[in-house]
Structure 1
């Protein structure tokens, strides 16, 4: 087996320059989301194309985690050690291997798997809460009471799933409409609010957990194409932009009424999506998703989890 360094050099990647980059070798995987388990010391990776959920170690060894035949395209994933659950958003994006006209832009489910065994624990249908409208649930976050909050990129709603798996519409606003992807990345702030990215407008929103009609636009320079968000402590946020193929470091000194872009780094491969913070370092997926929407583009087998430090 080639070393991580050797594979990285074949990809034109220097480990010395960018830290510990982890290659992902899986045919036509097109990873979209990632999560990390501290207990297992592995990353979980979703797939917008094959729907396969896999485990990835720091040496680049990738193996399937679960083989659920109902998965069509897996997007956001979140590992919760407390409940030993991997939460996954399952959608039909219209281009996945298993896409079906009957479910395209309708299917939107949260599925929970045992974090250790991969056995399914529950399934919640969120598309049923928004009938007659396009649905593409995307990212998800968990508050300190065990409630999930889930963005919908094609309809102006945020869903909530409580710890008993009861689903509801948490917030909605017509400002979250427009062409292409709207709401995308989402994180829970320990002071009791959500920070949410709107990709097509390059905006960030602050939404009160207790009063979801209290929606404020965070004053910050435009973050066009903002996808995944990573919160570090209370005052630092990283936004991954697939439009610019850059990863932005933001800081706030006023409880996210406003923020400043402090620094940014380029992704090494096209179309980064999201990432996760592990031991003080950011690990960002380089997903090449633009290839999926280009019928003439060759399909890839190699992707990357890039280490970013600021």
Structure 2
């Protein structure tokens, strides 16, 4: 750095500034450590009667996104417990499972009507609705809505959870009909798989959590029998049941930690089970269990790589018509 010739007092000042700049520019103090803030063990937020079923983490904006069976609107929650509305639309009667698709800057939301949103439920939609709503992840504007139940209009429906493959195709489970829907990147819906083996008794939840595996298949939970299915994308009718050491009663949300490790929420047992497979999900064993409070956990969100968080939805209180309703909901870090 070159300074012009200046009077003595000014030159002294410039020299001092120059020295300070050099110290600042060249300093590599080994004692200075840049640390990343520790992840919270739990994020609690207050929204009386919200009853969220789904949760996702939007890493680009450092926020959790939560659904609501009673309001329909999608909310966002920061680590300090602040809840604000992210997206709403008259079509959102009850929002269930969600999927953040960061690469395409979108949020996919499963829409159903179990009858808990008293301002939006109707006789025409209650237990008949299965929809997929897609929102811009930045603005919260709805870009797409697909009526999945219209593909089988005479059946009961409950769109529950969503997986997205590498091409942007979405796969949505139906808990009241033995169906997995497929919605391509252009928004065209088809029935990907329909099979009576995937049906549940009337009044019970069947197909539930779903994840895409990079090996070219889906892993899908079936709540009523505590089973896990492997469904190849190229030939879905050739699906197989994963051999497990015991039934995962109440199996709900799934999170693929890595290609051989799957986390499964069992809300009936208030647990998150960690499964591992050494044979490409022909079979699996339980390698860890995280026990949750009896607050009806439903599903999981991935955060900071392999870290996961489980949502305590308290849906059992909603189903029991508890009064006053639950006010505080928690998203807790899973630790095996």
User: What does residue 121 of structure 1 align with?
Assistant: 143
Q: For 1:91 and 1:231, how far apart are their aligned partners in 2? A: 25
2:276 aligned to which of 251, 260, 264: 251
User: What does residue 214 of structure 2 align with?
Assistant: 190
Q: For 2:143 and 2:73, how far apart are their aligned partners in 1? A: 17
Pairing 1:291–2:317 present = yes
Q: How does 1:228-267 map to 2 (within 5 A)?
A: 228-267=253-292
2:298 aligned to which of 263, 267, 273: 273
Give 1:295 deviation, angstroms.
Answer: 2.9
User: What does residue 68 of structure 1 align with?
Assistant: 89
The CA deviation string for residues 148-198 of structure 1, in whole angstroms up to 9 with x for no partner, is 000000000100000011100001111111220000000000000000000
User: What does residue 302 of structure 1 align with?
Assistant: 328
The CA deviation string for residues 54-93 of structure 1, in whole angstroms up to 9 with x for no partner, is 0111221111001312211000111111111111111111
SS in 2 for 1:50: coil
User: What does residue 58 of structure 1 align with?
Assistant: 79
Q: For 1:91 and 1:237, how far apart are their aligned partners in 2? A: 26
2:193 aligned to which of 171, 179, 190: 171
Q: For 1:48 and 1:67, how far apart are their aligned partners in 2? A: 13
Give 1:271 deviation, angstroms.
Answer: 0.6
Q: Which consecutive unaligned segments of at least 5 residues does structure 2 have?
A: 1-38
8 A Cα contact 1:105 1:134, kept in partner: yes
User: Larger deviation: 219-228 or 61-70?
Assistant: 61-70
Pairing 1:138–2:138 present = no
Pairing 1:111–2:137 present = no
Q: For 2:180 and 2:269, how far apart are their aligned partners in 1? A: 26
User: Larger deviation: 121-130 or 170-179?
Assistant: 170-179
Q: For 1:274 and 1:122, how far apart are their aligned partners in 2? A: 24
8 A Cα contact 2:40 2:79, kept in partner: no
In terms of Rg, which structure is larger? 2
Give 1:95 deviation, angstroms.
Answer: 2.5
Pairing 1:82–2:103 present = yes
8 A Cα contact 1:19 1:308, kept in partner: no
Q: For 2:303 and 2:273, how far apart are their aligned partners in 1? A: 17
Q: For 2:174 and 2:209, how far apart are their aligned partners in 1? A: 10
SS in 2 for 1:82: helix
Give 1:269 deviation, angstroms.
Answer: 4.2
Q: For 1:298 and 1:259, how far apart are their aligned partners in 2? A: 42
SS in 2 for 1:128: helix
C-alpha RMSD of matched pairs (Å): 1.3
SS in 1 for 2:237: coil
8 A Cα contact 1:269 1:304, kept in partner: no
Judging changes above 3 Å, is the alpha-carbon distance between structure 1 residues 269 and 57 closer, same or farther for their aligned structure 2 residues? farther
Q: For 2:153 and 2:73, how far apart are their aligned partners in 1? A: 27
User: What does residue 39 of structure 1 align with?
Assistant: 60
Judging changes above 3 Å, is the alpha-carbon distance between structure 1 residues 263 and 297 closer, same or farther for their aligned structure 2 residues? farther
Q: Which consecutive unaligned segments of at least 5 residues does structure 1 have?
A: 1-17
SS in 2 for 1:268: coil
- TM-score of the superposed pair, with normalisation by structure 1: 0.92
